[in-house]
A and B are shown apart, each in its own frame.
Chain A
Amino acid sequence: GNSVTQMEGPVTLSEEAFLTINCTYTATGYPSLFWYVQYPGEGLQLLLKATKADDKGSNKGFEATYRKETTSFHLEKGSVQVSDSAVYFCALREDTGRRALTFGSGTRLQVQP
């Protein structure tokens, strides 16, 4: 079956540091890949997505590239802010079949001033 593996958190960074959150996946077909963000006490918001190999998703300074050869979709940001503190979820969605999202376990990011 499908699965998503994320690096364990929490990740603690100082403001303006570089961020990488690793995400790898296992899928039987050709999934679309997503990063969702959950701010404290809130629901999930789509951060970015990529629907095919070599696509790069980007939003709010975050970016991730769909790497089919390494089955990865790592999230990066060049300079984090305190307001980026949240839980980040990597997810995939099958192109056929159930088409439900399969989520990773989430990575908590804490950015200190």
Chain B
Amino acid sequence: DTAVSQTPKYLVTQMGNDKSIKCEQNLGHDTMYWYKQDSKKFLKIMFSYNNKELIINETVPNRFSPKSPDKAHLNLHINSLELGDSAVYFCASSQDWASGGYRTQYFGPGTRLLVL
């Protein structure tokens, strides 16, 4: 019954490794997002996909690559992990991106990434 789910919930890895975080939503939404929350709790948009099309790509290192196989899934792949990538990554989804900004975004539980 979970609306927006992410796996894994925790991820501890060594510098230089490549890792992926998966996100799935069962709300029938057409837009999905990745946000990064740093150690000071500040949240910032990274990417957004609408119907599998990339619509937001913030100033994020190209080691981060989102992939949307279908509109219910948005995965985040990170190459060559660095210490500064340690953060909590949140996936979110919303309905009907084209209709305006009033639609609520629903968030997943977060993935806590720790790079050693």
Please give the residue numbers on chain A whose beta carbons come within 8 Å of chain B beta carbons, in ascending order. 31-32, 34, 36, 38, 42-46, 49, 51, 87, 89, 93-96, 98-103, 105-106, 108
Contact = CB atoms under 8 A, between A and B. Distances in A.
A44 B90 contact: yes
B94 to A, nearest CB: 8
A51 B101 CA distance: 8
Given A99-B97, A100-B33, A105 B41 contact: yes
Contact of B104 (A42, A46, A106): A46
B48 A45 contact: no
Contact of A101 (B42, B105, B109): B105
16 contacts: A32-B100, A36-B107, A38-B41, A42-B109, A43-B110, A46-B105, A49-B102, A49-B104, A51-B102, A89-B43, A93-B105, A101-B33, A101-B35, A101-B45, A103-B42, A105-B41
Task: Tell which of A93, A94, A96 has the most Cβ of chain B within 10 Å.
Answer: A93
B83 interface: no
A34 B33 CA distance: 17
B106 interface: yes
Interface size class of B (residues with CB under 8 A): 20 to 34
Contacts of A102: 45
Interface of B: 31, 33, 35, 40-45, 48, 55-56, 90, 92, 97, 100-110
Task: Tell which of B35, B45, B102, B108 has the most Cβ of chain A within 10 Å.
Answer: B102
Contact of A43 (B31, B40, B41, B108): B108
Given A43-B90, A100-B45, 13 more contacts: A44-B107, A46-B105, A46-B106, A94-B101, A95-B100, A95-B102, A99-B48, A100-B33, A101-B35, A101-B92, A101-B105, A103-B44, A108-B41
